[in-house]
Amino acid sequence: MSTLHSALTKEPHLKIYSIQGRAKHLYSLYKKLLRHERDISRIYDLIAVRIVVENVAECYTLLGIIHHLWKPLRGRIKDYIAQPKPNGYQSLHTTVIIGPGEIVEFQIRTKKMDEEAQYGVAAHWLYAEKEKTKEGAKIDARHRLSWVNELVKLQQEIKDTTEYLESVKIDLFPDNIFVFTPKGDVITLPDGATPIDFAYHIHTDLGNKCTAARVNNRLMPLSTPLKSGDMVEIVADKKRVRPSRDWLDFVKTRTAREHIKQGINRSSRLFGMFKRGQ
């Protein structure tokens, strides 16, 4: 780390609040080993260094300095500042090779982001209180707590406790992808999600009437797993009366699965009433 310290002394405009290092806890390591077929060579954050700076611009400046000093691993640069996790977590993550067989993960964030990462929901109200005289502070707090609203929505839709907990695990805290609407809005979905999951995330009616999807301006099967950065456009048929039962074979989110089941059951009841009326 002396190399980094020397580089930082040449950047007096950077305000560094703290630099902290940590080794991965044994239980966290054990859980990751299970996910990676017990191959420790696939775990890149055994050693992590967290650096807290003054503002967002300094986060990106510091990222550039680190990449100038050490070679980053391909696919291990994660920008959770531009695209926060659903629970509001923000930080820059990069994994670099600092020597033969030596890999270190750097986490770069502002002081505000660091407090939110440590104190969670409580930190949002703390900042709302501190900044309540600033225009837009309360709106920003509500935006950052949108994941809490998602929890409430799930609880209202799913009455079974076991299904609710499974939905929370799948829909709110998975490995995420970030896809775009045609208007450029960012939509967060779990890894492996399909255009049908995307459609139901936008609106129940859009999901029920979905007939086709364009991914990056190309017509693709509705079962296509989406990738981060994809632009997704749903083609809807207003005359469609119910979702397809086949969608249950490949949808990823619990929300999509529940709405599909509800749409099928509702259509079946209406058909039964129509037959009895005849």
Which tens digit of pLDDT belongs to each residue from 244-258? Answer: 999 999 999 988 999
Total number of domains constituting the chain: 2
Whether residue 128 lies inside any domain: the answer is no
Q: Is 81 domain-assigned? A: yes
Residues 87 and 168: their CA atoms lie apart, in Å, by 12
Is it the case that residue 201 has pLDDT exceeding 70? yes
Q: b/e for 253-262, b at 16 or more Cβ within 10 A?
A: bbbbbbbbee
- Alpha carbons within 13 angstroms on the beta-carbon side of residue 261 total 11
Angstrom CA distances, 267 to 211, 238, 257, 274, stand at 17, 15, 16, 10
Q: Is residue 53 part of a domain?
A: yes
**Residue 121, in any domain of the structure:** no
Residues 107 and 160 in one domain: no
- 245 and 151: one domain? yes
Based on the fold, state whether residues 176 and 107 are members of the same structural domain.
no
Domain limits for position 47: 2-116
Beta bridge partners of 92: 79, 108
Look at residue 127 and tell me if it is in a domain: no
Same domain, 80 and 189: no
Whether residue 171 is found in the same domain as residue 74: no
Whether residue 152 is contained in a domain is answered as: yes
Say yes or no to pLDDT of 82 above 70: yes
Same domain, 271 and 151: yes
Q: What is the pLDDT of residues 107-164, one digit of tens each?
A: 999 998 888 877 665 554 455 545 554 444 444 555 555 555 665 665 566 555 555 5
Would 57 be classed as within a structural domain?
yes
Q: Do 251 and 158 reside in the same domain of the chain?
A: yes
Query: Per the structure block, which two tokens stand in for 51?
Result: 């650096």
The reported pLDDT for the residue numbered 185 is: 79
The residues facing 71 across adjacent strands are 97
